[in-house]
Amino acid sequence: MNQKNALIVWGGWEGHQPGECAARVEKMLVEEGFAVERENQTGAFADPDLTRFDLIIPIFSMGSIADAESKSLCAAVESGVGLAGFHGGMGDSFRLNTDYQFMTGGQWVAHPGNIISYRVNIVDKSDPITQGIEDFIYESEQYYMHVDPSNHVLATTTFSGDYCFWIKGVRMPVVWKRMHGRGKVFYSSLGHLASEFAVGEMATLLRRGMLWAAREKDGGTPST
């Protein structure tokens, strides 16, 4: 079987420890047999040969992306390259670029209470990404996001209203997958700091999500 190729592009806000998180993700992918390239400039997205990668992982909170870089990245995913990521590294990147948000399926808005304990509920237990994972308590930022209604939601969380009373009872997607053209897209809002990779559920969901998103080497249309 041909080896799959992955690109990690990291940078942006240092509070999310992008360098440390990129190292954790690279280790996961190498363990799964990927050849991995790491870049810390968004210029990597403008690579004219971007489609040589089977999977792209942005770890770039906030920051900005040039129009040509965005168009190149979106075109690669639309052609079949997979996209996967987590927390603000993918869900709060390039706030002014709506094409990017359209592709990822969501955008961060707030995390009421900052670091808190909250429950993650697995809502699709039959999916290979979530299979065998039960609901769990997670200590981190509980992301409130604007999300695409076409997402295939795998896990959710419910806001208590303790920090913002007006969102009491709101059920918010935490993990989802989707198609963007021919490309598979996976996102998890878990993973504020690199230390959270030690949480088994977080790491397993991300690992499985990345494997699911990676393009099939036969070039066929992936199943959803």
Note whether 193 and 16 are within 8 A (CB).
yes
Query: How many degrees, rounded to 5, is the angle at CA 189 between CA 155 and CA 128?
Result: 40
Identify the pLDDT of residue 222: 47
Within a domain: 219: no
| Torsion angle of the four alpha carbons 123, 182, 89, 192, in this order, in degrees rounded to the nearest 10 | 20
Within a domain: 87: yes
Within a domain: 222: no
Q: What are phi and psi of 121, to 5 degrees?
A: -105, 125
Within a domain: 185: yes
Within a domain: 139: yes
Within a domain: 43: yes
Query: pLDDT tens digits, residue range 123-151?
Result: 999 999 999 999 999 999 999 999 999 99
Report the domain count for the chain.
1
Task: Please tell me the pTM assigned to this model.
Answer: 0.96
Instruction: Tell me the two tokens of residue 184.
Output: 């598979």
Identify the pLDDT of residue 220: 46
Q: For residue 107, what is the domain's CATH number?
A: 3.40.50.880
Within a domain: 164: yes
Check pLDDT > 50 for residue 17: yes
Percentage of the chain surpassing pLDDT 90? 96
Within a domain: 144: yes
Strands 144-147 and 115-122: what pairing?
unpaired
Identify the pLDDT of residue 218: 65
Cα separation values, 200 from 33, 137, 149, 206, Å = 20, 12, 28, 10
| Domain that residue 183 falls in | 5-213
- Long-range pairs for 99-102 at CB < 8 Å and ≥24 separation? 99/70, 99/71, 99/74, 100/65, 100/70, 100/73, 100/74, 102/148, 102/180
Query: pLDDT tens digits, residue range 139-185?
Result: 999 999 999 999 999 999 999 999 999 999 999 999 999 999 999 99
